[in-house]
């Protein structure tokens, strides 16, 4: 069985973070965007590594009792193995311990895998952002989760 280590990522991980981002998203964040986020206090990135290589990451903002998931990425060759669910649950557990009560996110309407992942963890649709994504003007499905309802 392959072992994965979980840790908070920082500026030293920028190259790997940007490389994985480019593999996973049609409108990827730039190195500058990640750097600016990592310099702030409310932006956090956690990752799963396998044999020293970044396999998956989750990024989010945390302010007060709310968090917003920005991105969750799993290397294409490692998808469908539970890494996304594992990473999501770890991040939600950390946030709950930090006093966060509400988690929010947006996902592309066409991203059925993401919508199923989040729905399977208790997130519920709460709205639509019309034309939200800049690359193709696709709608975003807004989702919310009450962290006190989670068994983590």
DSSP state of 30: P
Q: Give 91 or 27, the one with higher predicted confidence.
A: 91
Q: What percent of the chain has pLDDT over 70?
A: 99
Would you state the pLDDT for residue 135? 84
In this prediction, residues 23-31 reach a mean pLDDT of 89
| Mean pLDDT (the chain, rounded) | 92
pLDDT at 35 over 80: yes
Give the range among 47-51, 86-90, 146-150 with minimum mean pLDDT.
146-150
**With bands split at pLDDT 50, 70 and 90, how would you rate the model's confidence at 41?**
confident
* pLDDT of amino acid 147: 92
Cα 79 to Cα 75, 82, 134, distances in angstroms: 7, 7, 25
| pLDDT (mean) for 58-62 | 94
- Residue 84, classified by CB atoms within 10 Å of its CB into exposed (0-12), middle (13-18) or buried (19+), is buried
Task: Please name each of the domains of the chain with its CATH number.
Answer: 5-149 (3.40.630.30)
Neighbouring residues of 94: CB distance < 8 A, sequence distance ≥ 6: 46
% of residues, the chain, pLDDT over 90: 76
DSSP 3-state of 132: coil
pLDDT tens figures, 73-103:
999 998 988 999 999 999 999 999 989 999 9
Give me the pLDDT at residue 1, please: 62
């Amino acid at each position: 069985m392959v072992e994965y280590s979980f840790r908070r990522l920082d500026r030293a991980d920028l190259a790997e973070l940007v490389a994985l981002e480019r593999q996973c998203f049609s409108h990827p964040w730039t190195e500058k965007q990640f750097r600016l986020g990592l310099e702030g206090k409310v932006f956090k990135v956690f990752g799963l590594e396998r044999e020293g290589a970044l396999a998956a990451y989750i990024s989010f903002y945390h302010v007060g009792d709310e968090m917003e998931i920005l991105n969750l990425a799993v290397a294409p060759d490692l998808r469908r193995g539970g890494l996304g669910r594992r990473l999501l649950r770890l991040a939600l557990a950390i946030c709950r311990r930090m006093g966060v009560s509400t988690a929010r996110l947006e996902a592309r309407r066409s991203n059925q895998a993401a919508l199923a992942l989040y729905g399977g963890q208790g997130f519920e649709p709460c709205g639509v952002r019309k034309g939200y994504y800049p690359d193709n003007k696709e709608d975003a499905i807004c989702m919310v989760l009450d962290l006190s309802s989670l068994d983590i």
